[in-house]
Amino acid sequence: MGMLSGLLKGAAAQKVIAAARKPENQAKAKQMIADARAKKGRKA
């Protein structure tokens, strides 16, 4: 199971990186990252 979650995280990261290469998506990617960090902060 750990390997599967690792692969899913890798695939998600690749998708974000590919989207971040497009200028119109950079703001969206930054917002998604900020939201993800905020959620992690609340869980901890």
Q: Would you write out the chain's pLDDT as a tens digit for each of its 44 residues?
A: 578 788 788 888 888 777 777 777 778 778 888 888 888 777 65
Instruction: Look at residue 1 in the predicted model and tell me its pLDDT.
Output: 57
7 vs 13: CA distance, rounded Å: 10
Instruction: Look at residue 3 in the predicted model and tell me its pLDDT.
Output: 80
- pTM tops 0.85, yes or no: no
Instruction: Look at residue 10 in the predicted model and tell me its pLDDT.
Output: 86
Tokens of 35: 């939201």
Instruction: Look at residue 43 in the predicted model and tell me its pLDDT.
Output: 61
Q: Are 25 and 19 in contact (CB under 8 A)?
A: yes
Q: Would you list the domain boundaries of the chain?
A: 2-43
The C-alpha torsion from 20 through 24 and 25 to 28, rounded to 10°, is 130
**Alpha helices of 1-44 — where are they, by DSSP H?**
2-20, 23-43
DSSP state of 43: H
